[in-house]
Amino acid sequence: MDEVFIAVKDLTYIYNRDNAGGYRALSGIDLEVKAGEFLVIAGPNGSGKSTLARLFNAMLKPSGGRVIVAGMDTMIPENVWEIRRRVGMVFQNPDNQIVSSLVEEDAAFGAENLGLPAEEVQKRVAETLRLTGLSQYASHAPHLLSGGQKQKLAIAGVLVMRPSCLVLDEPTSMLDPAGRDELMETLIRLNRTMKVTVVLVTHFMEEAVLADRVVVLSDGRIAISGPPAMVFAEVELLAGIGLKLPAALEIAHGLRKRGFPLPQEILTIYDLLAYFKNKALED
């Protein structure tokens, strides 16, 4: 668990650096993503989350500092394709990342790009469709799938390359609540059972609660980073950045302010309910 998978050192990224109107999207980012970790990157709009995500798989190259993925520097051109294979990316809009008019062909795309033999591609496609619960849709047209299913297909489309890490850039923001739950459940399962490292970019704080660690970006810098309970304890700091607490934490915080000594471990509505149930039994 302590092995570093992605090491980010003093990273700066400037858009349109050659022009006078260059825009500094990230500055002085130091971050380590551990192998097997479930990391959430949170932050308000324009804080640099997507920029950071694209630096992880060498879609963007650092303007300053380094990004090292499994020992490979993203600046070195020979490393780029192996880095992209190891770091699978899933994007926000489910429609805009599906390439084929057939579910199984779309799942195969990444493996075909790696030049794997046909039998190996077929084996991997069957396996990833099973892992994402899409086996029964193998010969369907993707535009007939629900939003949640499309995002699971996008996950299958990168899993087929056998990556060590999934980076998902706001994958749930265009989904309905049911699709959102479905996707989160899939991510947690992949992380727990397959030991896939997950980096989830989101501005839904409810999703951050499920992570091992939360990194909050603000204005291109890391504002705070740590386990969810620690990060969410910084209520004023988060409010100052413009991030809303999850509903349960909002309630807990309000109660604490009125003098109820609630423990810091309460992160979800279920924790809150369990706490009050126990309390009622004790009294």
Partner 1 sequence: MLSGISLGQYIPGDSLLHRLDPRTKVIGVLAAAVSILAFANWQGFLLAALLTLTALLVSKLPPGIILGSLKSLWLLLVITFLLQAFLTPGTLLAVLGPLKISREGMFAAVEIVLRLALLILIAFLPTLTTPPIKLTAGLESIISPLRRLGVPAHELAMMMTLALRFIPTLLQEAEVVISAQRSRGAGFTTGSPARWARSLLPLFVPLFAGALRRANDLAVAMESRCYRGGANRTRMNALKFSAADYVVIGVTMAVLAGVIALRFV
- Binding residues among 147-176 for partner 1 as defined by CB under 8 A: 154, 157-158, 161
149 binds ligand ATP, rule: CB under 6 A: no
Query: If we measure between CA atoms, which residue out of 199, 198, 179 comes closest to residue 94?
Result: 179
- 168 versus 205: smaller Cβ distance to partner 1: 168
Q: Is 223 in the site for partner 1 (CB under 8 A)?
A: no
Work out whether 143 is an interface residue with partner 1 (CB under 8 A).
Answer: yes
Half-sphere exposure of 36 (CA within 13 A, CB side): 7
Choice between 26 and 222, CB closer to partner 1: 26
**Residue 133, Ramachandran bin (φ over 0: left; ψ between -120 and 50: alpha; else beta):** left
Cα–Cα distances (Å) from 78 to 9, 45, 58, 75, 142, in that order, read 20, 33, 11, 9, 34
Instruction: Work out whether 49 is an interface residue with partner 1 (CB under 8 A).
Output: no
* Distance (Å) of CA 83 to CA 62, 64, 68, 179: 15, 19, 9, 29
Shortest distance, position 50 Cβ to Mg ion, whole Å: 3
Least Cα distance to 165 among 242, 109, 86 occurs for: 86
In 3D, which of 137, 80, 138 has the Cα closest to residue 105?
138
Does residue 47 touch Mg ion according to CB under 5 A? Answer: no
Task: Pick the binder of partner 1 from 26, 121, 145, 201 (CB under 8 A).
Answer: 121
| Choice between 84 and 213, CB closer to partner 1 | 84
Under the criterion CB under 8 A, does residue 146 sit at the interface with partner 1? Answer: no
x/- string (CB under 6 A) for ligand ATP, residues 8-27?
-------xx------x-x--
Q: What is the closest distance, in whole angstroms, from the C-beta atom of residue 93 to ligand ATP in the complex?
A: 11
Q: Which residues, at least 6 apart from 87, have a Cβ–Cβ distance to it below 8 Å?
A: 6, 56, 57, 69, 163, 164, 165, 166, 167
Per-residue x/- track, 193-232, ligand ATP (CB under 6 A): ----------x-----------------------------
The binding site for partner 1 (CB under 8 A) comprises 54, 57, 59, 81, 84-85, 88-89, 91, 93, 95-102, 104-105, 108-118, 121-122, 125, 141-143, 154, 157-158, 161
